[in-house]
């Protein structure tokens, strides 16, 4: 059973249009053939820009998949870089949430979720 988390600090571009999301991952079970991690990071909307329209803040989301070969090598990090939608992220606190789906060689599927606050920073 892999367990994952987010890095406590995630990197955003200077203009806040791209974010690098990732974290550590425990070693998977020996019968694991694939792992998919889907994650998102979001900040509250800036209602000062347009109070009537801002329903959701800027969000970066994507997925990464590990196949059997990478898992067998003991992949201990997951990471992806993705564009931000709904505005731009800024340095400061953001809410991160993710789901990990693990598939075993017998077809069994296990799902894990986690969330935490992370700090966004420029490089």
For each successive 10 residues of the chain (123 residues), what is the average pLDDT? 77 97 86 91 73 70 83 75 93 95 93 94 94
User: Is residue 89 in a domain?
Assistant: yes
CATH of the domain at 19: 2.60.40
Quote the pLDDT of residue 62. 92
User: Is residue 4 in a domain?
Assistant: no
User: Is residue 42 in a domain?
Assistant: yes
The parent domain of residue 97 ranges over 9-121
Quote the pLDDT of residue 19. 97
Q: Is 119 left (phi over 0), alpha (psi -120 to 50) or beta?
A: beta
Quote the pLDDT of residue 1. 43
User: Is residue 106 in a domain?
Assistant: yes
User: Is residue 2 in a domain?
Assistant: no
- On whether the CB atoms of residues 41 and 18 are closer than 8 A, the answer is no
Task: Give the number of domains in the chain.
Answer: 1
């Amino acid at each position: 059973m892999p367990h994952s988390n987010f890095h406590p600090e995630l990197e955003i571009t200077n203009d806040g249009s791209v974010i690098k999301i990732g974290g550590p991952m425990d070693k998977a079970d020996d019968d694991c053939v694939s792992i998919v991690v889907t994650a998102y990071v979001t900040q509250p909307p800036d209602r000062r820009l347009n109070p009537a329209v801002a329903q959701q803040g800027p969000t970066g989301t994507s997925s990464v998949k590990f196949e059997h070969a990478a898992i067998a090598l003991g992949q201990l990090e997951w990471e992806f870089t993705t564009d931000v939608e709904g505005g731009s992220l800024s340095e400061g606190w953001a809410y991160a949430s993710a789901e990990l789906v693990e598939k075993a060689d017998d077809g069994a599927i296990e799902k894990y979720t986690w969330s935490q606050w992370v700090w966004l920073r420029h490089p």
